[in-house]
Structure 1
Amino acid sequence: MGDWCLIESDPGVFTELIRGFGCEGVQVEELYSLDDESFCQLRPIYGLIFLFKWRQGDEPSGTLDADSKNIFFAQQAISNACATQAIVNLLLNVHEQEIKLGSTLEEFRDFVSGFDSANIGLALSNQEKIRTVHNSFARPQVFELDIRSPAKEDNYHFITYVPINGRIYELDGLREAPIDLGPIKEGEDWLTTVRPIIARRIEKYNEGEIHFNLMAVIGDRKAKYEKRLAEIAEAGMDSDDVAQEVYNLQSMIHDEEEKMKRYRKENVRRRHNYIPFIVEMLKILAKEGKLVPLVEQALDKNAKKELEKEAQKKTAET
């Protein structure tokens, strides 16, 4: 069982991760609000990935469904794998014609058919192709810092929310089974039902806690726009309104292409090792006698900021 690296909670990372598995027809977008308008703009949404600060002893917000037969669920068997765990748990519970899982995920699904959740998680941890794609996002390290501090490092964890058979499930690899959050309200979209569930979860944390991130796994937007263009061309529609729609669709396709280019550039930068450059720059600054003055200047600036914060705090208290 090999090591897994930490994954950054970013839509560009998750989109490339999914496509690295060979899955087509989906992409990932970040949600900055729980209001209905934010969700409407991204439909269809197949599932949600939620990042939060994990706390010991937190109880599940629903009922553990140990008897679920039609739900794919892998327990997490190794550290740092929760990002891929959340994605795989989500994708293998979505049954849409537009989504092509690809051979890697299909073969894994077939291989673990009949396994219990613990053994599915163990098999996932040892799946070489999936682990290789996951670890392609490891940040390069030339050396490690041995920082001995009594402060405990915060732990962050990814989970999935997904609709299955008219009910909403929370798939958390640290639990022994899927968590049944209840039925989707009659006549409502599943997102209308899940939004207050996520909101209540966030409210449990201290006021001012901002370490949350919510991402939606949605249909491939470029493919959606291209499909609509093809429909218009096939129907031979011709009017000012149609011309405007065609123009809008072409603009949106261009925007999606530019966004994917930006994602690729950002991911290349994430993987690039900047440490040799930084070391050389520090050597040059030290040789020219500029390093120590710059460090002292930075320390003075930081000290002044701390004094200003203390003064503002005292002013607020009075």
Structure 2
Amino acid sequence: MATIKDVSEQAGVSQATVSRVINGTSRVSHDKKLKVEKAIKDLGYRPNSIAQALASSRSGSIGVIVPELGGPFYSSILHCIEEKLRQFGYHVIVTAGGNTEKGQRESVEFLLSRRVDALIMHCQQLTDDYLINLEDQGIISVLVNRFVPELKNSCINIDNEHGAELVTDYLIEMGHKKIACITGPLDKSDARGRLQGYRNALENAGIDYDESLVIESGFTEETGISATHKLLRRGCEFSALFACNDHMAAAAAEVLTDAGFRVPQDISLVGFDDVLFARYLTPSLTTVNFPIEQMSVEAVQLTIQKLHKNKQDVNFRLSPKLVIRDSVNLLPTTL
């Protein structure tokens, strides 16, 4: 196996010059660079990746943080990011930060201790100031499904507000005026955006916003169950329910069925995200497609742009689409 010494002897230059050509750490004359590159090719020399990383301060790895590793949403994000980064020659180190600020900070510190070249983060609990400070320290980072105004060139997010408007508008077009809503946790920007889109659609249709029809929940099936029970206990009349993600929608369907309501004959139901199981529910779920794959691809493109300071086409704000299935009924008469 050829060594860096073999390359230097064949090229007629010092080992230090060969190292500079390989790592790109300083300028080398064009003539010497060509000699080194030819010697590397002729000898079939392969640089030691660990030594190369030490010399260039690059590890060839990207840290990815998500709240949890299970479930179709985050597993899809991780799969897409890992697959795309491999195409650029990077490996991924993944950590789950949980849904606490402490846990997500610990994930950041762990990945930085592993000398990752950049961070891709789905972290709703980290404060804006903390994320801004990371960038001020020169740490290359990209945020997914989040927007921080001071970091607008580091954020890939979707238009949650528009997506919620789309699905609420559809319910209204189908004759529904009394539309309940189970939100996500309102300390999260995506949950706030979806609630605002719901409110926008009602306002544009001249329908009063009714606080008694809105329940804050937690974006999980368990919290969706308790939120639906709470909504039913209020005794408020509604003909449709917008659950702000598909997990809560699936939970709501179960609770409504157990309570004697038929979906969609008695209560129409819609979700958000279009996770894989949404199409296999009975009835199949009308929802909003969250462009997970595109968001992941854009996050990788932006990361590569930041790392190599080259121009990649990046779409910073993605548009969701309405997916119409069988869980909404046309209301012949309004309530």
TM-score, length of structure 1 as denominator length: 0.23
Look at both structures and tell me which one has the larger radius of gyration over its CA atoms: 2
